[in-house]
Structure 1
Amino acid sequence: MTTELRVLAPAEWDTWYATLERAFGGVEESKEEHALWRDLTEFDRSVGVWDGEACVGTAGAFSFRMTVPGGAELPVAGVTMVSVAATHRRRGVLTSMMRRQLDDVRARGEAVAVLTASEPMIYGRFGYGVGTFEMRAGIDTARVGIAVPEGTDDIRLRYAPVTDEVVRNTCEEIYARAVAGRPGMLARQPGWERVPLLDPEKDRDGASALQCVLASDAEGTVLGFARFRVKPEWSAAGADGVVLLDDLEAAGPYAPQAYAALWRFLFGIDLTSRLTALNRPSDDAWQHLVTDVRRSAVTLRDSMHVRLVDVGAALEARTYRAPVDVVFEVEDAFCPWNEGRWRLTGDAKGAVCARTADPAEIALSVRELGAAYLGGVPLTGLAAAGRVRELREGAVAEASVAFGSDVAPWLAHGF
């Protein structure tokens, strides 16, 4: 059987997307979801593999800007909508799409590609390493209290219409302020403000429609927001509802107070006794407000996988928490232009990364370099696992400190 890989044409989108849906279980998405993802599809960055008239493989990419350590926004490729038909597994379909895609990313001058994986074991062979984690929590709000900082009582809360244009824009402004301060966050491009508001009724599983509460100071300036759902549940003992948190952000001089006020509100919603959050930063501050973190059922899981497509340009694009001068020996069989020795010299003001013939001090694959890139995965931990080899004593510890981030990298929403 022969197959053809080609750039997606708009007229092929329905067939292409149906192939993706089937690969993820065959449950058709809502018209609302179809319309959004079709609008966001970048056709020149999307490919399909065809066996005759049948689409048997899909892959795409979004043009994002992602914050890296130091605060710069780096153009990145957001790899998405990847699938292979079960009838065509183990025939090189995925490899051919990954090859085409990374060649295209390089040609566009993007130094980094990122993705979220349905199965995390898939993408390591293509050079992706887990670079961010998401915290999940299931808090027993009937037994866990929350201690708020001084000034929290001065914050005013009000419900606001989720889809109101002014409310949406206000929430987007607060989100945009958060982007600059945390590596891994994506600056939302036009159209992406619709993603957090996606609310198909079939996916609510008995919960309410999306709700929004705004937090303001005494002058009425909005400092934060929470978007959430409430799922009413009852037991023999009475009300046992669940608050399902979608997203929460606060910014400005009174951000800690606004943040605490929003969490306190969520803890106190009538007829609920639990709060579920499925995607929060691993260093989220609510952990320091609750009276019993054990009853908060905190877990971590992988989130964004990072791939350096141009090692030199990627390492130069970020800054470093401590001065660093180190020579990496990089292995990258899938993108061999990255292979070899690179000298990285940098600090909090900037960096230079160039080819060198100097002796290597640290040896690693591009996958480990991608994992460490955003500052959330220490090189020392990778070395302890045998994934990084130290060739000069002390080099790994020095580089690990330099690569670190003051705040945990985080991907706020999927793509």
Structure 2
Amino acid sequence: MTTEPRVLRPDDWTVWYATLERAFGGVAEAPEERALWQELTEEERSLGVWEGDACVGTAGAFSFRMTVPGGAQVPAAGVTMVSVAATHRRRGVLTSMMRRQLDDVRALGEPLAVLTASEPEIYGRFGYGIGTYQLGATIDTSRVTLPVPADAAGLRLRFVAPVDVQDACEALYARRVAERPGMIARAPGWARLPLLDPEGERHGASPLQCVVAERDGELVGYARFHNKPEWNASGPAGVVTLRDMEAVEPAAYAQLWRFLLDIDLTSTLQVRNRPVDDAWQYLVSDVRRCLVTTRDSLHVRLVDLGAALEARTYRAPVDVVLDVADDFCPWNAGRWRLTGDAKGATCRRTEEPAELRLSVRELGAAYLGGVGLKALAAGGRVEELRLGALDETATAFGSDVAPWLPHGF
């Protein structure tokens, strides 16, 4: 066989996607889910490795625009649908696809590649660093309360069919995208993803429900969730699972959380993917009974280092020479002088003495402002070569809000 990837042809998709499904356990997706991913697949950005008529490796990319610190929406390749057949592991299949993919991303002029990893240990060797984390929680709603927000007067909550307010919710989501690094502007077709609701994935819960918050007839927030009725010897013990929520004012945000905590016949609110600085943690009566957890989410890879560092702004003035290692994309390796502040930045190659030494993986981790360079340095991943350079650079790279990826891809 050859491990040389080739671009997907229109009649390849069914076999190609079946290879992906088998690699993830072999359980076929629901028809509506499969149809959506086929519609969203960018065939010209999808790669397969073939042995005769058999597909043994898959990888794809979506053409995203992602918010970075400062609010700019930067082109980013959303790496997706990566798999290698179990019969062809450790033969260079994955490496060949990653090589071709990053070369293509560079040729397209996208400064960043991002992904969510089925196993986080895989992608560090290709230069990806964990750039965002997501918060989960299992909240005991029989013991946890949240006060009525002070500005609740004038807010109206009402149930509505999710599809009936799809456009209004998408417009509200779009307003939020620029406010938090890591969020992705949803292109046409992607608005269907939050409403995807295969019956087989509900595990006994209700179809997707939606409650909207309105003020003077205008949508100011929404929550989409499932409700699973359960009973035990003590009575009702239903579980509410939050799918997603957005609000453009604090009162609507708090009122929606209060609603979720107070749904009749339930005793647990399950939260799976929220920002690590989500404000409800500071509003609830007892955070210990919320069993908060975190896990890795978005992995970030700087493909064009100079363009990527120039695309974002910096929380404090920075002027530093970085000595960057990048074995997989050697065009990034070497010394770069980064000069920037809250208004913008330049990043150019230089022969000046290095002041910080790190790999592109650490730059990817720190890029969105949620992972501190000082924490990486404490773990031996960043080396300070000029006294004071680490403090200055770490402060500049920080973000006032935690970066967050609201949904997978």
Query: Do both proteins adopt the same fold according to a TM-score greater than 0.5, normalized to the shorter chain?
Result: yes
Which residue in the other structure is 1:57 paired with? 57
Name the Cα RMSD after superposition. Answer: 0.7
> d(CA) in 2 for partners of 1:154 and 1:389?
54
Q: Aligned with 1:406: secondary structure?
A: coil
> d(CA) in 2 for partners of 1:148 and 1:124?
45
The unaligned stretches of length 5 or more in structure 1 are none
Which residue in the other structure is 2:241 paired with? 244
Which residue in the other structure is 1:299 paired with? 293
Q: Is the 8 A contact 2:4 2:96 kept in 1?
A: no
Alpha-carbon offset, residue 149 of structure 1: 2.9
Which residue in the other structure is 2:109 paired with? 109
Could you give the per-residue CA deviations for residues 117-158 of structure 1, whole angstroms, max 9, x where no partner exists? 000000000000000000000000100111243112431101
Which residue in the other structure is 1:157 paired with? 157
Residues 229-240 of structure 1 mapped to structure 2, 5 A cutoff: 229-240=226-237
Q: Aligned with 1:152: secondary structure?
A: coil
Which residue in the other structure is 1:202 paired with? 200
Letter in 1 for 2:203: D
Alpha-carbon offset, residue 163 of structure 1: 1.2
Residue 357, structure 1, aligned to residue 351, structure 2? yes
Taking structure 2 as the reference length, the TM-score comes to 0.99
Structure 1 runs, 4 residues or longer, greater than 3 Å off = 1-4
Which residue in the other structure is 1:283 paired with? 277
Letter in 1 for 2:366: A
Q: Is the 8 A contact 1:20 1:81 kept in 2?
A: yes
Letter in 2 for 1:233: E
Alpha-carbon offset, residue 4 of structure 1: 4.4
Residues 7-406 of structure 1 mapped to structure 2, 5 A cutoff: 7-164=7-164, 167-217=165-215, 219-251=216-248, 255-406=249-400
Letter in 1 for 2:135: M
Q: Is the 8 A contact 2:70 2:312 kept in 1?
A: yes
> d(CA) in 2 for partners of 1:212 and 1:381?
40
Which residue in the other structure is 1:412 paired with? 406
> d(CA) in 2 for partners of 1:221 and 1:5?
50
> d(CA) in 2 for partners of 1:102 and 1:4?
14
> d(CA) in 2 for partners of 1:220 and 1:52?
60
Q: Aligned with 1:375: secondary structure?
A: coil
Q: Aligned with 2:217: secondary structure?
A: coil
Could you give the per-residue CA deviations for residues 42-69 of structure 1, whole angstroms, max 9, x where no partner exists? 0000000001111000000000000000
Q: Is the 8 A contact 1:4 1:51 kept in 2?
A: no
Alpha-carbon offset, residue 316 of structure 1: 0.1
Letter in 2 for 1:76: A
Alpha-carbon offset, residue 249 of structure 1: 0.4
Letter in 1 for 2:359: S
> d(CA) in 2 for partners of 1:341 and 1:194?
44
Taking structure 1 as the reference length, the TM-score comes to 0.98
> d(CA) in 1 for partners of 2:96 and 2:147?
53
> d(CA) in 2 for partners of 1:304 and 1:4?
27
> d(CA) in 1 for partners of 2:264 and 2:153?
19
Moved more, 389-398 or 335-344: 389-398
Could you give the per-residue CA deviations for residues 228-257 of structure 1, whole angstroms, max 9, x where no partner exists? 000111111010001100001001xxx100
Q: Is the 8 A contact 1:131 1:377 kept in 2?
A: yes
Q: Is the 8 A contact 1:214 1:225 kept in 2?
A: yes
Alpha-carbon offset, residue 10 of structure 1: 1.2
Alpha-carbon offset, residue 394 of structure 1: 1.2
